[in-house]
A and B are shown apart, each in its own frame.
Chain A
Amino acid sequence: MISFRNVWYSIEGHSILEDVSFDVPRGATTVILGPSGSGKSTALRLLLGLARPDRGAIFVDGEDITRVGEARMRQIRQRMGMVFQQGALFDSMTVGENVGFALLEHEEPAEDELEGTIRTYLTLVGLDDNLIDRMPDQLSGGMQRRVAIARALAARDPLILLYDEPTTGLDPQSAERITDLIVRLRDQMGKTAIMVTHDIADAFKVANTITVLNEGRVVFHGTPVELAGTESPFISEFLAPFRKAVQSASSRIIPGARRSAAPPGPQ
């Protein structure tokens, strides 16, 4: 459904992505994993048409979006819902106006219908629908991120969801709620999704496939199990802190109490 083919992108001569290729099957969640500055968020920006690659093609449902005009791109974007890093809620609008933004932008729904839709999506992401009249800055970081997910979902029920570091900066409990929600959206609603993160635990929890980027290049693409078994020095080094933390916690707390998300070690 989504396919990056030999994508190159640079800013002012500084290379950001180099020959990036990977596929995201329909209904699956692909996690783009990598250290900070590896070009993960840029891949999402290119997919949304917020920037154009220097070379290569990006296919959405078979259509190369690098060759379409802005008007067509606007139509393609309507199939996508984006959860930005830090939420990017419109701070001059209420929670309700944020969630209903895309509906108000493209349609003229009746007030009751709009309010009903907003309350439905707030409830879906586990928020009290009485928050509808609050301003974003009156919410906690975790709540803001869930409003951002509700906004993405309410945008004409998109087929594709894009998450840019949705758990960054959140406390563990809020982060867990967000990843649970992402898994639920994948399993119950069958959304195709790409999640960008540098959090390995989150990646293993939500991913059907994982693409690892390092310095703008794809160094791995496969399933979480394949990632855990790879012998690439970069991957081993990248996963090492996480493995150590899990092993240390397991041995200190309850023997064998590894989180289900923990990647198995190389066989």
Chain B
Amino acid sequence: MVETVQDFSLFSAAAIRAAFTLPYYGRELMNQLHFAAIGSLLIVVISSAVAGQALAIQLARELANTGAKTELGHFMVISVVRALGPVLTGMVVASRMSAGITAELGAMRSSDQIDALVAFGSDPMKRLVVPRIIALLVALPALTIVGDALAVIGGGFVGTQYHLPMEAYYLGVFKYLTPKNILVGMIKPFLFAVLIAVVACWRGFTSEGGAKGVGVSTTQSVVASSVGILVTDGICTRLVFRILGW
């Protein structure tokens, strides 16, 4: 356990150090950006729209019962932008990207392709890990914005079913869509992005035992990323409340 933590820490430090030094592999970065952003867009759109509407239905019914249905926009913004949106998008992207990255790098490890990169003078950290970190750092916040927007817009349509006019709903939305709330929500995707990329790359690089080993590493990668996102979210929320008082 101690050795695993040590290995992961050393790998993370090397990856982050590599991210700040030349060269950068533009084509690799564009490929990874396409895989992370465009490839994940559909599942983020579907999951955010569905989860947003489900949340809005629950909230709208309770608020209607207590005579506070005009607060739907307010509650949707706080729930989605500050908490649910980043975590939901993070989990959806983690399940897809962690599996994809670990399986790909694990297969490269077992077929000696990573050793071949080293043998031919390339640095696998720069060529394989850094583009994946940067791609997720760009894609995950962007996908979170898309997911948040869809969930909040979906809430507006649910509100109309409870006789809440769109204008009243969006009045609440824009009143609480403050820089503070946006910042609290938008810090998380950056942390999740680094977490997903580093964990997935590390599990891929350390994969052993052929196809079975790649399968085990892929499962561990998805589980570790998902649990890591929830733990990071919990820590972030506590820190924001305790230190910043937001």
Which residues of A are at the interface with B, using a C-beta cutoff of 8 A? 45, 48-50, 74, 77-78, 80, 82, 84-86, 88-91, 101-102, 105-106, 151, 155
Q: Does B13 contact A (CB under 8 A)?
A: no
- B119, A90: Cβ atoms closer than 8 Å: no
Residues of B within 8 A of A151 (CB): 120
Q: Does B116 contact A (CB under 8 A)?
A: yes
- Cα distance A105–B121 when bound, in Å? 7
Q: List 26 A-B contacts (CB under 8 A).
A: A45-B115, A48-B118, A48-B119, A50-B115, A50-B118, A77-B119, A77-B121, A82-B120, A84-B116, A86-B111, A86-B112, A88-B112, A88-B113, A88-B116, A89-B116, A90-B113, A90-B116, A90-B117, A101-B120, A101-B122, A102-B120, A102-B121, A105-B122, A151-B120, A155-B120, A155-B121
- A84, B115: Cβ atoms closer than 8 Å: yes
Residues of A within 8 A of B121 (CB): 74, 77-78, 102, 105-106, 155
Which residues of B are at the interface with A, using a C-beta cutoff of 8 A? 111-113, 115-122
- A91, B119: Cβ atoms closer than 8 Å: no
Q: A50-B118, A85-B112, A155-B120 are in contact. List 19 more A-B contacts (CB 8 A).
A: A48-B118, A49-B118, A50-B119, A74-B121, A77-B120, A77-B121, A80-B119, A82-B120, A84-B112, A84-B115, A84-B116, A86-B111, A86-B112, A88-B113, A88-B115, A88-B116, A90-B117, A101-B122, A102-B121
- Cα distance A53–B184 when bound, in Å? 50
* Best-surrounded residue of A49, A84, A151 (most CB of chain B within 10 A): A84
- Cα distance A85–B112 when bound, in Å? 8
Residues of A within 8 A of B111 (CB): 86, 88, 91
Residues of B within 8 A of A84 (CB): 112, 115-116, 119
Residues of A within 8 A of B119 (CB): 48, 50, 77, 80, 82, 84
Residues of A within 8 A of B120 (CB): 77, 82, 101-102, 105, 151, 155
B119 vs chain A, min Cβ distance (A): 4
- Cα distance A155–B116 when bound, in Å? 12
- Cα distance A89–B113 when bound, in Å? 7
B137 vs chain A, min Cβ distance (A): 22
Residues of A within 8 A of B117 (CB): 90
B196 vs chain A, min Cβ distance (A): 21
- With CB as the reference atom, state the residue of chain B lying closest to A41: B112
Residues of A within 8 A of B118 (CB): 48-50, 77
B121 vs chain A, min Cβ distance (A): 5
- Cα distance A176–B11 when bound, in Å? 43
Residues of B within 8 A of A85 (CB): 112
- With CB as the reference atom, state the residue of chain A lying closest to B112: A88
- With CB as the reference atom, state the residue of chain B lying closest to A102: B120
- Cα distance A78–B120 when bound, in Å? 7
A161 vs chain B, min Cβ distance (A): 12
- Cα distance A82–B112 when bound, in Å? 11
B84 vs chain A, min Cβ distance (A): 36
A78 vs chain B, min Cβ distance (A): 6
- With CB as the reference atom, state the residue of chain A lying closest to B31: A92
A232 vs chain B, min Cβ distance (A): 32
- With CB as the reference atom, state the residue of chain B lying closest to A73: B118
* Best-surrounded residue of B111, B118, B120, B122 (most CB of chain A within 10 A): B120
- Cα distance A85–B113 when bound, in Å? 10
- Cα distance A90–B122 when bound, in Å? 13
Residues of B within 8 A of A91 (CB): 111, 113
In the complex, the 8 A-B pairs of residues with the closest C-beta atoms, listed nearest first: A88-B112, A88-B116, A82-B119, A84-B112, A102-B120, A105-B122, A88-B113, A50-B115
- Cα distance A267–B197 when bound, in Å? 63
- Cα distance A74–B116 when bound, in Å? 13
- Cα distance A89–B112 when bound, in Å? 9
Residues of A within 8 A of B112 (CB): 84-86, 88
B244 vs chain A, min Cβ distance (A): 42
- With CB as the reference atom, state the residue of chain B lying closest to A49: B118
- With CB as the reference atom, state the residue of chain A lying closest to B118: A50
- Cα distance A82–B116 when bound, in Å? 8
B77 vs chain A, min Cβ distance (A): 42
- With CB as the reference atom, state the residue of chain B lying closest to A48: B119
- Cα distance A49–B122 when bound, in Å? 13
A159 vs chain B, min Cβ distance (A): 15
